[in-house]
Amino acid sequence: MAIKNECIFCKFVTNEIKVDCIYENDNFFAFLDANPKVKGHTLVIPKKHYVNSMDLPDSLGIELLDAIKNVADYHFKDKSVEGFNIVQNNFPTAGQVVMHAHFHFLPRRKGDGFNMTK
């Protein structure tokens, strides 16, 4: 399990490692994924270190949804985007690799070749 001081996502939030932020509010930060599944694949992360969504306080729910909606607005400026998926993995068995809660925002385009079931 990652320790906060060693967490790469925490280093993005503190600007210790530079990433291009596409959205930020008081408690969340969004940036393009380094290994995108589709064009525009974005990660939305809490600024504080929480291991997974089970650790996120309920009080952040509205602000998280607002962050996701703002990321959607950002991507819908590209007229080829026709929809999106939100994916969130909790614990290694479910595919969580970085032990800092994060939400995958996947902008979808007709014929993008991405299949959620594979």
Q: Which amino acid is at 27?
A: N
Closest CA to 95 of 113, 118, 61: 118
Please give the full DSSP string across 17-73, using - where no structure is assigned: S---EEEE-SSEEEEE-SS-SSTT-EEEEESS--SSTTTS-GGGHHHHHHHHHHHHH
Active site residues: 102
